[in-house]
Structure 1
């Protein structure tokens, strides 16, 4: 019987801790809001607006949310300018996103134009052209060699446009890479 009661106590204790709400019906405490923010920030960096939105969804009042976020800003755990810089670098380098797409992503994340502008300006025209050229070269490997030239151009320019490259950059890069690819393959004949 003693083993059964221990099991019941364990089960009740585990269930009670899991069902405990993260906040009270009055909108939670600042400490609870801070804990929620820390859990979110442990996964990835987030903008202030993203955190505010997530706390609101969890039922925290605007006053509690602002106090928690103000404290995190004060100690440097929330910095939209640094977030924008990290986001732009990561998404441009690893996902091949162009400036237009990155600006749109930052707007959706609630980063102000003032905080986003320096991060976006860090990507030069040369950086953007170089990254676009890498994407085109990679895509060219998967396009059938007998595909019509115009269709190939449309596919490549469309791919770059979807990634946020402006039309001028996309056409310039695609034409240059196709000329280079044709030049390289003619040497093999």
Structure 2
């Protein structure tokens, strides 16, 4: 079975998940604390670079402080949308925030060839701001995740303090990774031990 996640240069990479789910994973619990890789421009650039290399994500850039606020806002809307998908609790009103984001970029996806003749995703018109390209790419991936064949398989990890969502590729899977599964089993064992005292 493929590895469900890996830490590369301090970045949580989840190769079995969509770009949108990986974007949500820019905030994760590392076993000690919540790590937010959209906290500083340098951390965000490192996250974007690793995702670009490992998952063929959008081209790297260093976001400004205002762009970081924007990225965190987008992540918040996506997290709420993921939660509604998992809970099967969508309403017309709850879709407005996500649809408003989807209306902003005014970019259309297309397929181009890179310098090696490999097909790559591109946008029309070519965005003059990499932030627009980045957000459009993440938002298109979110539509696929929230409405496509993965939507009914989307789950929230049940491990203590974990904030991640995952695609349940196996009916026995209850956690985003083996690490969270182990953490949950240890927590249950500790609860049983404390209640028997």
TM-score, structure 1 as length reference: 0.22
TM-score, structure 2 as length reference: 0.21
Higher helix share: 1
Higher strand share: 2
